Amino acid sequence: MKRFAPDAAARAQSERILKLFPLKRLMISDNFCKGNRPRRRVFRRPVFQKKEKPRKIRVNPSTVRQLQLPVFYQANNMTEHQTPAAEPQLDENQIIALRREKLHAIRQERIAFPNDFQRDSFAGELHEKYDALSKEALDPQEIPVKIAGRMMLKRAMGKASFATVQDVSGQIQLYINNQGVGEAAHEDFKHWDMGDIVGAEGTLFKTNHGELTVRVSNIRLLSKSLRPLPDKHKGLADQEVKYRQRYVDLIVSPESRDTFIKRSKIIQTVRNYMVGERYLEVETPMMHPIPGGASAKPFVTHHNALDMPLYLRIAPELYLKRLIVGGLERVFEINRSFRNEGMSTRHNPEFTMMEFYEAFCTYERMMQMTEGVIRACAQAVCGTAKISYNGKEVDLESPFERLTILEAIKKYNPHYTDEQLSDEAWLKKEIVRLGESLPPAPGIGSLQLALFEGCAEGKLWNPTFIIDYPVEVSPLARASDTKPGLTDRFELFVVGRELANGYSELNDPEDQSARFKAQVAQKDAGDDEAMHYDADYIRAMEYGLPPTGGSGIGLDRLVMLLTDAPSIRDVILFPQMRPE
C-alpha cells in the first residue's frame, strides 16, 4: 500500500523532526500501543525523505508526544481505536480525514472498490456445520472457503494478525500471517480499519482455544469505510440516533438485526397462513379520491395531471369489500396505511397492516382467524405460544378471552354500578376525572367506550377480545340482531394495547348510506376523523355485498409483541422523525 500523501504543514513538520532524527525508521518502545502485549512497534518514515545511512534509535512515548509526530507516522500499524496509551482519541472528523487519505492512496495503486470477489460461504453456516468438530478432526481436512463481510475487530501482531468478519449470518475469525498471504499483503492489511468490507480466501482450522478460524491465503479490501463505527461496547447510546441511522444500528447491534429478521419471518408467516386458508393476496390503491375505511385524519396530496386532491389511504377496507362484491370471496392485503395523527410508542404515521375479508361468514370466524394467525406467528419466531413481554408472561396458547365493553369495565373496576354506567352525566364526569377526552360522537355507547379506554384497556394483559361495540363508533359494522344499539364488532387487546379490529360487515346499502350521512354531520360539527360519504362504495353495495366478515391486524404492534420491543420505532426500519 502507498504511504499517505501528507499536506504541506505535515511535510514541514516531518522535515523538522527528521533534522533532529536522521533515520530510516523509528523503533517505538514496548508499551506504546494501548491494549497490546509488550512488543516493539516499527514506524517507517514517509517515503519522500531520503537519508544516506539509515540507523535505528529508540524513542520513548514522552519523546513522541514532545515531537508531536504527524498522523501518517502513527497510521502504519494502528487504527484510530489503537491509540497510544497517553494520547487522546482522534475525533470523528480527524478519523474521516485519515481514512480519506488511505482511500486516496488505494486509488493511486489499484481499483478502490472491486466487485469481482465471489464468496462461497457464510459465517453462520460454517459455525453450524463445523463447530462440533474437534481441532484434530477439522484441521487435516483443510476445507477451502471464501468469506466476505465487514471487519468488526482487528488485532495486528507483528508477523501474524487476527480479524473478525461479520456477514448477514454471523461472525467468523480470520488468521492472517506473512506465510499465508505474503509480507506485502499482510503489511497492506495492517492499514485497514474496523468497518472496512473485506473478502478472504483460505482454509478452516481451529485455534488452540477451539475457535473456528479461516487461515487466510488471499485477502482483499472490497470497500473502504470512511466513517468509524461506534464503540463496540457502548454501541449507539443515543436512541434517536439509532432510529435516524438504522444502517449503523444494524451493523453494531445483533439485537436490532434479530428484530428485523423476525419481522420478516412474521410477515412471511402471516402470508403463508392466509394462503393456507385459501385467501387471495391482492393490492389495492394507496391514493384515494375519498378517504375512508377508518376514522382517522388523512395525509393530502395533489395530482397535477388531473388537478385533483388525493388522500394517502388510512385503510384498504372499502376497496377490499368491492372485491368481495366482484366475487373474490376471500382476499387479504399486507401493505402500508397512513394516518396524519400524533406519534407515540404505539403510533407511527406510516404503518403496516394486514386486512382480510371473507364472504359468507361472521365476526366469529374473523376472531378465530385472528387468533390463529397470531398464534402461528408466535410459534414461528418464538418457538412457543407462551411468550414474555417486558418480563411478564403473555399466554397466546390458551383460547383468547371474550368480554363486552361493560364486562371489561366492571372486571377491573368492580366499584362501578350498573346505574352509574348507564348515566350519561356521571359517565362524562368520570371520563374527565380519568383525564380522558370526551368523545365527539354523541350517545351513551361512545361514553362507555371512552370510559373503557380510560379505566380498563391498559389492564388487558393476556389476549382479550372486546366485543359488541356501539353503533355510533362503528359506521361500517353490521348492527346486532339481538342487542339494539350495538354491532357485531370486536377489538383484540394484548399487553394493554389494541392489536386487531374486525366485525361482521354492514351489507345493507341503505343503512350504510344513512351512517355515512351521520358521519358527514359529525365532520361538519368539527370531528376531523369522521368519514366522508363514498358514493361509489354505496353503488358497489347496491350490486349486492354477500354476508361478509373482515378483520385488520396491526403488524407493527404484532412484531413489538413477539420481539419484546417497547416502542413501535424499534420495529420499523426507518420510523418517521423530526428534522435534525
Annotated binding site: 491, 498
Which among 416, 421, 395, 408 has a CA at the least distance from the CA of 460?
408
CA dist., res. 93 & res. 91, Å (int) = 6
- Read off the C-alpha cell for 188: 497492506
Which among 21, 23, 20, 17 has a CA at the least distance from the CA of 55?
23
Instruction: Write down the residue that cell numbers 353490521 correspond to.
Output: 478
Structure letter (DSSP) for residue 505: B
Q: Are 214 and 204 in contact (CB under 8 A)?
A: yes
How big, in percent rounded to 5, are the helix, strand and coil portions of the chain?
35, 25, 40
Annotated binding site for Mg(2+): 491, 498
Which CA distances in Å does 251 have to 198, 293, 392? Answer: 15, 39, 30
CA dist., res. 335 & res. 488, Å (int) = 26
Which among 218, 67, 55, 48 has a CA at the least distance from the CA of 145?
218
Structure letter (DSSP) for residue 338: E
Strands (E) in 29-182, as ranges, are 41-44, 58-59, 144-157, 160-167, 170-177
Q: Are 405 and 466 in contact (CB under 8 A)?
A: yes
Sign of the C-alpha dihedral, residues 523, 528, 530, 535? positive
Q: Are 25 and 53 in contact (CB under 8 A)?
A: no
